[in-house]
Amino acid sequence: MASMASMAVCYSLATLSSTKPLLSHKKTTSIANLKSHGRNLQSSLVGAKLAISKTTRPLSSRRLGTSSSEVTCSTSASPLPSALLFDCDGVLVDTEKDGHRVSYNETFKEKELSVTWDVDLYAELLKIGGGKERMTAYFNKMGWPKNAPKSEEERKAFVASLHKRKTELFAALIEKRLLPLRPGVVKLIDQALAEGVKVAVCSTSVEKAVSAIVTFLLGPERAEKIKIFAGDVVARKKPDPAIYELAANTLGVDPSSCVVIEDSGIGLAAAKAAGMKCIVTKSGYTANQEFPNADAVFDFIGDPPEERFDLAFCGSLLKQ
């Protein structure tokens, strides 16, 4: 478009320069011609400017993978989400490496299973949604412990007992407040609650573990206003969209008006399959991963002066 404007300007200049000398026997006519060409030049410039402004799209306020300290927010005219839905582990608290993984290993040690999940192995296991499903997949591949039962039903009960103990150890860790909330979580939740936006936590972790995080780390007053969808409340875990679909139905909101905060690929897939907007805030285990299908990607939510985005930015995604 800039080249079109240049052509228009050059044409007008060329036309102006090709006019007859002003010192002629018809002085008044020459002056009139000069004024006429001047108007033509001005018209060409204005026309070119309008052409550019009409065809050039403004830059989006959305930023992907930013680690800048600049806040990304929308204009004041942005709509607000009907609901703000948070994943729990990795979003509210970076729990996986030093929380859940440690609790699994403590459980394995107590039960004398000779199993240890190191950091890299656990990163692979996180691609499987659900703790019981994670353990089952691991034992199916690596071999079941010698003291594990043989039948499928008994093995389900065995895994469930391991997971129950893991959850108890994890909840005790949360109650000691050894794992902090991630930056900006409280700020964003408070913004949403103040504006009447519904807030929920949707997690594949069991309800007891999620409730411990919400109650002990966010506080009982906030916890009373936050709906929890967790564990086996749905038959199919993320990346299946069932938990987000259940949340939308229960809260009485349209999925397209919801914004999800996730940290993983399976969580992102679940949110998008449910027809919702999704912001990824990378966690310790997903810091080096790419999320091309996300509506926005940040390193964390952030508090001022390190704020990355706010409720208004969440609302701006609904217009895209």
For residue 273, CA distances in Å to 85, 110, 206, 244, 266 come to 14, 39, 22, 9, 11
Catalytic residue among 87, 94, 295, 310: 87
Lowest mean pLDDT segment, chosen from 12-21, 208-217, 249-258? 12-21
pLDDT number for residue 78: 77
3-state secondary structure of 169: helix
pLDDT in tens, 107-142: 999 999 999 999 999 999 999 999 999 999 999 999
pLDDT in tens, 177-186: 989 999 999 9
Closest among 142, 138, 131 to 166, alpha carbons compared: 131
Checking if the pLDDT of 80 tops 80, the result is yes
CATH code: domain of residue 129:
1.10.150.240
pLDDT in tens, 35-51: 444 444 344 433 433 33
DSSP label of 122: H
pLDDT number for residue 320: 84
Query: Same domain, yes or no, for 82 and 200?
Result: yes
If one counts the domains in the chain, the total is: 3
pTM assigned to the model? 0.76
Query: Same domain, yes or no, for 197 and 291?
Result: yes
Structural domain ending residue among the three candidates 126, 160, 175:
175
Query: Same domain, yes or no, for 73 and 197?
Result: yes
Question: Where do runs of H (alpha helix) occur along the chain?
Answer: 2-17, 27-55, 101-110, 119-125, 131-142, 152-175, 185-194, 207-218, 220-223, 242-251, 265-273, 311-316
3-state secondary structure of 82: coil
Backbone angles phi, psi at 76, to 5 degrees: -65, -15
Q: Could you give the count of Cα atoms lying within 13 Å of 240 in the half-sphere of its Cβ?
A: 13
**Is 310 assigned a catalytic role?**
no
3-state secondary structure of 203: strand
3-state secondary structure of 93: strand
Q: How many residues does the chain have?
A: 320
Query: Same domain, yes or no, for 20 and 39?
Result: yes
**Is 263 assigned a catalytic role?**
no
User: Which residues span the domain enclosing 34?
Assistant: 2-55
Checking if the pLDDT of 53 tops 90, the result is no
Query: Same domain, yes or no, for 100 and 81?
Result: no
Query: Same domain, yes or no, for 69 and 122?
Result: no
CATH code: domain of residue 292:
3.40.50.1000
Query: Same domain, yes or no, for 220 and 133?
Result: no
Q: CB neighbours of 255 closer than 8 A, spacing ≥ 6?
A: 244, 245, 248, 274, 275, 276
Query: Same domain, yes or no, for 80 and 131?
Result: no
How far apart CA 233 and CA 242 sit, in angstroms, is 9
Checking if the pLDDT of 234 tops 70, the result is yes
Query: Same domain, yes or no, for 241 and 151?
Result: no
Q: What is the mean pLDDT of the chain?
A: 83
Residues of the chain above pLDDT 90, percent: 74
Query: Same domain, yes or no, for 226 and 260?
Result: yes
Q: Exposed, middle or buried by CB within 10 Å (0-12, 13-18, 19+), for 185?
A: buried
Residue 73 pLDDT class (50, 70, 90 cuts)? low
Query: Same domain, yes or no, for 196 and 252?
Result: yes
